[in-house]
Structures are given as C-alpha cells and as structure tokens.
Structure 1
Amino acid sequence: MHKPASNDAVTSLHDLSAIDLIAGFRAKQFSPSEVLEDVLAHVAVWEPHIKALYAFDPDGARAVAKASTERWQKGEPTGALDGVPVTIKDNIATKGVPVPLGAASVKLVPAAVDAPPAARLREAGAVIFSKTTMPDYGMLSSGLSSFHPLTRNPWDLSKNPGGSSAGAGAAGAAGYGPLHLGTDIGGSVRLPACWCGLVALKPSLGRIPIDPSYVGRVAGPMTRIVDDAALMMSVLSRPDRRDGMSLPPDNINWKALEKSPRKLRIGLMLDLGVGQALEKEVRAVAVKAAKAFESAGAVITEVDGILTREMLDGLDNFWRARMWDDLAKLSESERAKALPYIVKWGESGAKLSGVDVIRGFNATMAIRSAAAKLFADVDYVVSPVSPVVNFPAEFASPINDPAKPFEHICYTVPWNMSENPAAAINGGFSESGFPIGVQIVGRRFDDLGVLGMAKAFEGMRGPQKPWPGAARLTPR
C-alpha cells in the first residue's frame, strides 16, 4: 500500500499512476517487483470475470521487474518507464508471441520482432506482463471475438467494454496497472476509453510509428489520467524507420501540458444528422464539458458534423472490400472460424465493383477536406465519443447488425481519416453510474494541445466516482 501526499486515502500499488510509480521507485518507497506482484494479485481477482488478457506472462514479467528493481536500487533507471507495468494490444507484435488479430481464422505464427510501439516501451524499461484482447480483425467496437473469450466491462459485467482495444479498456478500468496500449482506425482507443472511464489519445497519423501502417491507423495510450497518457507519448512517439507513414521526429515537450482555454475558439459538435441518435445523458455530459470550457474563457460555438451519409456508406464499402480481401485468401473451413458477423459483413464486399470501392476510398479525402475547412474557424472541437451510454456485452456493436456496422462511430471515425489528433476523457456518469466520455479534437499535429485541453478539462471536471471494486464482480 502507498499513501500519496495529496490524498488521505491509502492507494493500492496497482491503482497508482505511472507518474506516482516512478516517483515511488526514485524515493525507494517500493520496488518494481512489489508493484508487479500487487498488479498480478489484482489481476487474479478480476480476470476470471472480465477476460481482458491474452498471452499473460507473469514469470517473464517477474524477471523484467527484478532487473528493473536492481537498476533502481543502484539509482540507474534505463528509461522513462522503467519498472512500470504495461499491457499491449493483441495486434501490436511482440517478439515470440503470435498475433491472432482476435480471430480464430488467423494462423498462429510467433512474431519475429517487436513492432515499433512495443519496442519503444521495452526500451524505456516498461514491464510488459500481458497482451490484451480484441475482436476479429479489429473491425468491431466490441469485446466479442472468435479467438479470445468474451471481454466484459468492469463497471458493469453485463455491458461491453467497447473495442477494438477491448481488453486494454477493461484492464485500465479494472486496475491492471496504469498504462495500456491500443490501436485506433475508427475509434478503437477512444470508444473503449469512453465506455470504461479512461483517457485515450488517438494521435495524428504517424506521430507514433507503427508497423504495419495503414490509412487512418494509429497506436495510442489508454490510461486513467492525462499525465500518464503524455508520459506514454514521450516514449511511443520516438522515430522508427519501419513506418513509411511516420512523421518527422519532433522535439515535443510532452510534460508541457498547462494550457488555458481562454479566448480559444471551441466548436461544440452534437447532433450529426447521420448515425445513431444521440442519447440524452450523453448529450448532457458533452454540453456540460463545453460549459466548463466556456467558464474558463473559451468561446463556444455549435458546429455541424462533417460526416455525411454518403461518406459513412463509402467507408463501409471500402472496409468491406478490404475485409473480403483478407477473408477471400482463406479456405472455407478457415473462414468459418471467424465471427459470423464479420464474415457476413465482409462477404458483401465481394459484390462491390471497383468503382464502388474507389468511391468509398474517396470518402476519406472528402472527410479530410471537410475537417480542414472546419478547423480554419475553430481551434478545438468538443463532442461526444459515442452516441450511446452502453450496450450488452454479447453484442458485436451497439446496433448488432452487420448491415449497419458503423452507425456508432460517427463522432470518432472522421478524425482517423482526416488525421487530426483526438482525445477521449471521462466527462461524467449516467444515472446508473456508467462512465460517459467526452472527445476533444485538435488540428493536425496539435497532439500536445489536445492533451493540454484534456488536462485542463480534467482539472475542471470535479471529483470522479471511485474505480470499479469487487462489488461489481457479479453481472447486474
């Protein structure tokens, strides 16, 4: 147990932020080995209920933590995260571990090398004790997978953690240490962060080198506090030549998060005119966040959404065709191992013409153009992350219909296609006590500004509900 100076309550080691852990290691209050054992004991209590982990490796982690403990005893830490427990999403390769992409249809071949984000975390001394679950091919905002067990939300076991960084979201909310790494191509770090009460950053495309890279695809931190997300970014954003879409190295001071909203022009984006209807409780949380910024001196203007029905359907066609490209390479028996929802969705891609698919891809360029025009007039955008408070754990998506797969990502997917940085942060709770996220979006490359605005909001937001405890270990 550790007692932070700023808090009268005793905080368990597994609940401490990465910032506090590093300070505690430096002051020799506790060691990386002690922290890891506390995390592992906590995992043993929660994991049978939420199923967040894949390739759990306590013994390997103990060896890494022991080496870190010895370095701290000598006062010679190896990097910014030395001794801090971390999880990494299934689809980010770690040497020697197969990458199933959440799908039973994928052949299990051990990865030859660490992907760039995993390599950066390892170099910084992080203790990678497990990977985390995801749905098939990362194409669902859900904890449902044909390969992994069903991942559940620690706030309410009958509810979905979201996805595709499902295990990362559940692990973060349950207290499996402070740092979790996910990926996002349409909302996959922000949606689970929203539904699990976490902070997540979808950085500008290329800010964090990743391999394989793809249009709109990024890796991003998922944490409980903004400072920890910034600490992860200081490590993850280091260069790696394997990513042909990565940004030039930039000496960003990720600790410089103090940012006043005063006189900033903030667009409040509520009803989009496309996708699922915005639920009343979610709207209220987004409006309250905008009012907090307004009270701090920002100028708030309601703005229209930039996504149209044509754009959303175009993205759907493009991704269906891309999914069918993967599925078509499998035998019928292999394909049958994937989630029926994914197969049904992807199969329709076979019927699309080349022109249909090109029109779909061109939606990404239309979104990019619309985002640029919007940010000519505003500095930041505040919006909901998801239009709905939650949905059942067993569903593939909030609507659970492969004919309407993306109605719930209309607040998140535009910023992947336009490459703008976007953060999710808990904005409040529903009447039933379920977390509701707020999204803060900035101009391309203004990742630090977005985190600064999230940090400002974190300070204005007021006290939060306690993180889920053992009382939640039975479905409601």
Structure 2
Amino acid sequence: MPGHDSPHTLPAVELVRAYAARELSPVEVLAAVESVIEAREPVLNAFWHRDPAAAREAAVASEARWAAGAPVGALDGVPVTLKENLARRGVPMPAGSAGVEPVVPAHDAPVTARVVEAGGVVLGSTVMPDWGMLSSGVSSRHGTTRSPWNPAWTTGGSSSGAGAAAAGGYGPLHVGTDIGGSIRLPGSWLGLVALKPSAGRVPLDTPYLGRVAGPMTRTVTDAALLMREISRPDPRDWTALPPTELDWLGLDRDVAGLRVALHLDAGCGAAVDPAVADAVRRAATCLEQAGAVVEELGPFVEQELLDALDRFWRVRSWADYSRLPADAQHRVLPYIAEWARGGADVSGRDVLDAYHQVAVMQARTVAATLPYDLVLSPVSPAPAFAAEQPMPVPDPGVTMSHIGFTAPYNMSGQPAVSINAGFTGDGRPLGVQLAGRRFDDLGVLRAAAWYERHRPADAVPDWPDGAAIAGGTA
C-alpha cells in the first residue's frame, strides 16, 4: 500500500500482504493503531488492560521475522484484541464487575495461545459488563463503553469493548464471547461482521452451556482468517469438536439454489421494529434475486422457553452474587443485582425444569431449521439504544426480550453470523443474522461473504472517523 495513510483501517489480509511486499511494517501499523487508540479511547472506553510496551516488543519481533522472510504464522504482525474473560497469563480477569476480586490466570486461554502462536500483536484486553450478563457497555468496574458511530449509542454487549475496538479502528481483529447473543448483538449495533461459531468449534478453557468465542471484524474474510487460527485444537476443552481441516478462506460461492428461511417472528420477546424488519426483507430480496429459494419460517420458540432460559441464568448469577461479601455486593451494578435477585428463591425443581426447557429450545431450533441451508432473521428486534441504559428494556424484572433470535442458536450450537444490512434514518447500523445447520460454519461465512459483495451500497458501513468520535457526535 504505498502512500496509504490509514494503515489502521486495512483488513488483516491486506496487512499481511503489505508486510510480505515490504509496503508496510508491523511497527508502522502498530504506531498508527496506537495513535487511534490514544485519540479515541477516552470516549470509547474499550480497554480494560492495555499493553503498549508488550505490543511494541511483539511488533518489533514480527518486523524482524518479515525482514528475514520467516513469518511465524498467518497473523504475524497483525493487531488483535481479546475480551477480558479470555485468559491471558498474568492479566487480572474481573468479569466486568467492581464486586469481584479479579482472578489472575497462570496460563493463556486456548484462544490467546493460538493468536500468539500465529504472531498476532495483542493490544490488550477489552471490557465487558458485569459477569457478561448485559447487552450493553455498562459496567460497575469499567463505566460506560460507547459506540464509535455516536457516543450517545450503546455498543451492545457483552462483547462491548471488542465491538467498540473493531468499529473504532483499533486494528482489524477482535475476539469476543457469546452465550446468548454477546458477539452478534454488538455486531448488529456496530455494523460489524460478528460470528458465533458452532459449539465446540473454538476451544475454550471454561466451556459452558451455550458459550463460544468468535471473531468481530469489519470484513468476512478477516473473520474467516481469525477463525482459521483460533479454531485450532486444544486438549483443555473437553467439549471441543474433533480437529477438522476447513478451507476457511475458500469463501466464494453462488447462492443460487440455496434454501433460505426468512424468519421475522421469534415467537417470544419484543416485537420487531419496522426498520429492522425492512433491513431483513431487503437482504432476503437480494438473495432471492440471485436464485436462492426463500420461504417464510414461522416461530418455533415461545415465551415460556425464553423465560426458562432467563430464569436459569438468574439462578447462576445469584449464586455468584450471593457468595460475595456484603461490601462487594454493594459494588455490583444495581441492575445486575436486582436481575440476579430474581433467582434467589427458585427451587431446585424449578431450576431443573428450566434446564429441561433449554433442551426443548435446542430440539425445536434444530428441527425447525434443518430443512434450510440458511435462516435469515433479525439479530435484535430493535436498533441500538442509549449508551447509559443497561438493557434495551430498563426493567430488570423483565425477561431478556431482545435475544429471541440469537439465544436459540447458542443453545442448539448452530453457527450464526451478524452482518450489516442497512441503517436507521438517524444512522444506527442494522445487522441481519445468517444462521446455518450445526457445524456448517464455513457455509455461513460463505453466505455472508456473498452478501457482503452484493448488498446494496447504502448497507455498506462508511466507518466513523476519529473527529466524530472525539467530538462526541455522529
């Protein structure tokens, strides 16, 4: 990229090409990214723990490897951020909460290890809200994380810092985690490509029902590149899928003949905003005009199942909250404390019933979507809300009404990606979700790559610049 004055905006695949051609150096790119971070971070608040000195050391080492023609891996010299709940040796993990005594891990998580082995330059750990149980950037420990599109808007959560970093130009590659929508919701509200992989596709050192780690990037190819590295096997995850060689960067496909379900009624949660529904329908038309067979899919999850999942999570968080000393409990975000209190008096029988209802959600989701190659739906029923608001619905007594389209795929283990498909009249990004059959991560990414190339011009993000962010305006 001779003469390119914005290396922080380049995709990872372009950076690697530029390094190989000696058009850019990892040290030069890191300096550009760090300059952006210094300018924007006081507003965005994406980082929990930054490592400028360690990142520079890694960039210098990468530059030497490229000069010798011996890059260590596919991410050599590329800036990367990792969500704070992905362990990095020696870096405290407070789970986004001021009430928690941070765990200091002795070992890197599998994701961290794969990134480092591939030569990625880790910029630091990005923030999350309390225990990852909010779909916003509000945290009792970190304060409020804000959207680069407009600091008055939420980033979504719980991968709030990762999303802000990706949309804000903090380098090309970012890893979030998702247990009910925490990768795709920020993806949708920030205009990103955000993949929730199949359950077990990316090894974890703390596997849990529905939990995955996945990429949050500006392009589909970068998401695929990152998946190729972080999906490599690690024996610590006893739930991981068998090692499989996938052609992650073989993204070309024709959508003609694909069976696509158009899913606009989740059967639970909040009603879909007309602007969101319109964006999804436009994406469906785009696919249909290219030869995909599109048909409507009715609801397959009812409110009772979503309530049961919410109840199960409340009990889990109440168990965490109730173990804290009284003074620590007072430091937990009040919204989270009140929400978790809804699990205080749930009986063992009711917890077991809730768990069984989760199994029903799993079975329903797989059965309803099995006839289709893809399911096209909203990510969230509504666009981004105010940054200071913990949840789309401010009442902690209400079930999480915004995850009716996302959580079923966490429970079923199916891959699902968010990709931008339009904007509201006031400029808020609108993502759509493409979900696939179990284990068909590559099929989902190929469909997203096709849509990325063929979506309407007014659906393509024109990423916010630093002046807008620093000035606190759209």
| TM-score for both structures, normalised by structure 2 | 0.97
> 1:11 offset after TM fit, Å?
5.5
What's 1:78 paired with?
72
| TM-score for both structures, normalised by structure 1 | 0.97
Answering whether residue 463 of structure 2 is matched by residue 473 of structure 1, we say: no
> Residue by residue, what CA displacement relative to the aligned partner does 1:110-143 show, whole Å, maximum 9, x if unpaired?
2101011011101100000111010000000110
- State which of 396, 404, 414 in structure 1 corresponds to 2:398: 404
* DSSP 3-state at the match of 1:120: helix
The whole-number CA distance in structure 2 between the counterparts of 1:386 and 1:281 is: 11
The whole-number CA distance in structure 1 between the counterparts of 2:305 and 2:167 is: 33
Report if aligned partners of 2:75, 2:120 keep a CA contact under 8 Å in 1. yes
How does 1:210-289 map onto structure 2 within 5 Å?
210-289=204-283
What's 1:386 paired with?
380
Answering whether residue 192 of structure 2 is matched by residue 195 of structure 1, we say: no
- State which of 349, 354, 357 in structure 2 corresponds to 1:355: 349
What's 1:364 paired with?
358
> 1:2 offset after TM fit, Å?
5.1
What's 1:6 paired with?
none
Report if aligned partners of 2:80, 2:120 keep a CA contact under 8 Å in 1. yes
> 1:353 offset after TM fit, Å?
0.7
Cα-Cα RMSD: 1.1
- State which of 283, 287, 292 in structure 2 corresponds to 1:293: 287
How does 1:21-100 map onto structure 2 within 5 Å?
21-100=15-94
How does 1:290-369 map onto structure 2 within 5 Å?
290-369=284-363
> 1:13 offset after TM fit, Å?
0.4
> Residue by residue, what CA displacement relative to the aligned partner does 1:203-242 show, whole Å, maximum 9, x if unpaired?
0000000111100000000000000000001001100111
> 1:472 offset after TM fit, Å?
4.0
2:181 counterpart letter in structure 1: G
The whole-number CA distance in structure 1 between the counterparts of 2:46 and 2:389 is: 16
Gaps of 5+ in 1: 4-9
> Residue by residue, what CA displacement relative to the aligned partner does 1:257-279 show, whole Å, maximum 9, x if unpaired?
11211111100000223211111
Report if aligned partners of 2:43, 2:469 keep a CA contact under 8 Å in 1. no
1:147 counterpart letter in structure 2: R
The whole-number CA distance in structure 1 between the counterparts of 2:371 and 2:185 is: 27
How does 1:11-22 map onto structure 2 within 5 Å?
12-22=6-16
- Report the more deviating stretch, 21-30 or 340-349: 340-349
Alignment length (residue pairs): 470
2:463 counterpart letter in structure 1: W
The whole-number CA distance in structure 1 between the counterparts of 2:2 and 2:390 is: 39
What's 1:435 paired with?
429
Aligned CA distance change for structure 1 residues 11 and 447 (closer, same or farther; 3 Å): farther
> 1:465 offset after TM fit, Å?
3.9
> 1:405 offset after TM fit, Å?
4.2
- Report the more deviating stretch, 73-82 or 305-314: 305-314
- Report the more deviating stretch, 36-45 or 332-341: 332-341
* DSSP 3-state at the match of 1:343: helix
The whole-number CA distance in structure 1 between the counterparts of 2:344 and 2:265 is: 33
* DSSP 3-state at the match of 2:356: helix
Report if aligned partners of 1:157, 1:473 keep a CA contact under 8 Å in 2. no
The whole-number CA distance in structure 2 between the counterparts of 1:108 and 1:449 is: 39
Report if aligned partners of 2:111, 2:230 keep a CA contact under 8 Å in 1. yes
> 1:335 offset after TM fit, Å?
1.4
> Residue by residue, what CA displacement relative to the aligned partner does 1:2-56 show, whole Å, maximum 9, x if unpaired?
56xxxxxx56100000000000000000110100000000111111111111111
> Residue by residue, what CA displacement relative to the aligned partner does 1:252-309 show, whole Å, maximum 9, x if unpaired?
1101111211111100000223211111111100000001110110010110132211
Gaps of 5+ in 2: none
* DSSP 3-state at the match of 2:377: strand
* DSSP 3-state at the match of 1:350: coil
What's 1:451 paired with?
445
What's 2:168 paired with?
174
Aligned CA distance change for structure 1 residues 24 and 331 (closer, same or farther; 3 Å): same
Aligned CA distance change for structure 1 residues 12 and 354 (closer, same or farther; 3 Å): same
> 1:367 offset after TM fit, Å?
1.2
The whole-number CA distance in structure 1 between the counterparts of 2:340 and 2:402 is: 18
- Report the more deviating stretch, 66-75 or 374-383: 374-383
Aligned CA distance change for structure 1 residues 433 and 11 (closer, same or farther; 3 Å): farther
* DSSP 3-state at the match of 1:386: coil
Q: Runs of 4 or more off by more than 6 Å in structure 1?
A: none
